[in-house]
Chains A and B, each alone.
Chain A
Amino acid sequence: MRFHFKTTYDQDIRLFPDWWTFGLYAALLAVMLILPWLIDGFFLGEVTNVLIWAVAGLGLMLLTGQTGQVSLGHSAFMALGCYLCVILMEAGVPFVAAFVLCGILTGVLGAIIALPALRLHGVYLAIATLALAILADDLIVILTPWTGGVAGKFTPEMTILGFEINRWANPASWYYLVLIVAVLVALIYRNLLRSPLGRAFAAIRDSEISAQAMGVDVAHTKAVAFGLSCAFTGLGGALMGLYAGAFNNETFNFLLAIQLLMMIVIGGLGFIHGAFLGAIVIAFLPQALSILSDQFGRAMSIPGLEMGVFGMILIAFIILEPMGLYGRWMKIRIWLELFPFARRDMFRRQKSYLKTERLR
């Protein structure tokens, strides 16, 4: 096991606590960078897909995992990001500028939409956002002149400084694009966590009352959280639509938002790693199921099976491991580090104390 002998505050402030951790993530990044030479185009496409889900998931994680606000409407913001990006590109804006701009615009619009919704708590917020997701579908059809409606839109030609990003001709180009976005979004997320704003998010999640007593403007901070969350999810949505090649009103239906929420719960609420682990599950589940149905034949190919299995996994996690895959991994790691001194009840929480509802 490693001991941290801390000598400066910077050891807690910088991105990686020690050289060992830094080395680990550097090695991971190095592997990711040479991945196109290690695996074939099909699997590279799958990894690209995982990273796209992770980007969208990080957005929802910031809102739900960090700030404690549930949203079942994030498919609407994925759609918004995607349509904005393509509309901007069709208007002649270069891809990189259109992409960044669609993130910013989705964030700003998200924060504005959020202002009234964030007065709601818990289930009511979930229902309001779900309504938004269902509404988005109709809105896209109503706005056919801009969105292409049911006929949908196709991915315009994407170039970065004259270099073409094409899924079919050059899968690695897409992979690198998505990898860069995922790393940047994760980095921004991590930076927020070590800043006052990130701590204010956690404060709101755990006790709005005392957050206010510490000077946190709850309404404003929630709107900022919603805005940032929508911005990231919008980027994820733009990547998802562009990667698919064609998309219409049904691409971003509300099931996508529910899947996104399930994904971050399974991965581990409140952890950056959770978004990536959840994305792996969601991206590879269909493959795993199709392998199974090949094995067991017809009996396994029931419509809606994927969502069903996914839902069951979710319920299992909520009951057995509320901290998600990442929580499980941390426990295994601590157990290994302490071996053979780990105790069975080490991870059991202290009895929590009664909280008053009087102030609500």
Chain B
Amino acid sequence: MSLLELKNVTLKFGGVTAVNELSLSVEEGQVFALVGPNGAGKSTVFNMISRFYTPVTGSIVFDGRDLLTLKPHEVPQLGIARTFQNIELFDRATVLQNLLVGRHRLRKTTLVEEMFFVGRARAQERAHRHAVEEVIDFLDLQPYRNQMIAGLPYGVRKVVELARALSTRPRLLLLDEPASGLSVEETQDMRWWIDDIRRQMGITVLMVEHDMGLVSNVCDRVLALDGGRKLAEGTPAEVQSHPAVIEAYLGTAAVSKTANATGGRV
């Protein structure tokens, strides 16, 4: 059984059909990429899995559970974590506090325990801190631990967002354009991290990415979208050489390339 399964999912914004009869299934342990030109509906797929949007038809099942019965804040409880295309960090908090929010779903203390910092409160804080430090070590965030997000450079914020998602101890990680706006070196780091996330941590990854180099390096399976419809699915090489994909990209490739290089369209 697949870990995540979308069946015939359709979502409309007024007259615009952002996602059209889309089916896809992500197997446990895979790194799965969604590619497609701007406005293809990739982020919208993520937002449906996160339950910010509800599809008009179709079903989304994670590990045998129907996601459509859940509220957005219940999704992480199943072990689904995500990053956002337009970095959504907690700006007026430190890196450490951001990562600790990632541990929120594992909160065991009651209001009274926290108000008076008694009972499990202290032990829980130590445990959370320990878990978060492991993520900080993994992603080399030590120098930024106590810095405010508001003062961090773009590339670091991207990494902090990944770290925050990892702090939730997910089974499935949704990455929305993890490498957009990153330098060549930073993109390389991201590639190794995604590899390690899958290999060492055993986390399944579903990502949206425009950088085909990164996609062919780290992904097992790729699905190309255009206008909310599936164009092609298969290994990175198969999808890249698929005629429909080449056609869809012909007009937009140059545009998205410059946008990526300048990091303008983040």
Contact = CB atoms under 8 A, between A and B. Distances in A.
Given A196-B104, A218-B73, A270-B92, A9 B130 contact: yes
A207 B92 contact: no
Contact of B73 (A188, A198, A215, A356): A215
Contact of A196 (B74, B82, B109, B266): B109
Interface bin, chain A: 35 or more
A211 B92 CA distance: 13
B102 interface: yes
Contacts of B101: 199-200, 202-203, 211, 214, 216
A228 B50 CA distance: 29
A354 B103 contact: no
Given A13-B129, A194-B117, A196-B114, A210 B90 contact: yes
Interface in B85-134: 85-93, 96-97, 100-105, 107, 109, 111, 114-117, 121-122, 124-126, 128-130, 133
Which interface residue of A210, A211, A213, A356 has the most chain B CB atoms within 10 A? Answer: A213
Nearest to A217: B73
Interface in A171-228: 188, 191-192, 194-200, 202-203, 205-207, 209-218, 224
A355 interface: yes
Given A202-B92, A214-B104, A214-B168, A13 B126 contact: yes
B58 interface: no
Interface of A (DSSP majority class): helix
Nearest to A68: B92
A355 B86 contact: yes
A108 to B, nearest CB: 12
Contacts of B84: 209-210, 213, 356
Interface stretch (B3-11, B148-156, B183-191, B223-231): B148-156
B171 interface: no
Contacts of B93: 199, 202-203, 206
A218 B52 CA distance: 13
Nearest to B90: A206
Contacts of A349: 150-151
Contacts of A195: 109, 114, 117, 121, 125
A196 B90 contact: no
Contacts of B82: 213
Nearest to B118: A191
Contacts of A207: 88-91
Contact of A199 (B85, B97, B129, B130): B97
Contacts of B97: 199, 202
B57 interface: no
Contacts of A212: 50, 52, 72-73
Nearest to B50: A213
B262 interface: no
Interface in B62-81: 71-77, 81
21 contacts: A188-B116, A191-B115, A195-B121, A196-B107, A199-B97, A200-B104, A202-B93, A203-B104, A206-B89, A206-B90, A206-B92, A207-B91, A210-B88, A210-B89, A212-B73, A213-B72, A213-B81, A214-B81, A215-B75, A218-B73, A355-B88
Interface of A: 9-10, 12-13, 188, 191-192, 194-200, 202-203, 205-207, 209-218, 224, 270, 349-350, 352-356, 359
Task: Report, nearest first, the 3 A-B pairs whose CB atoms are least far apart.
Answer: A215-B105, A195-B114, A215-B76
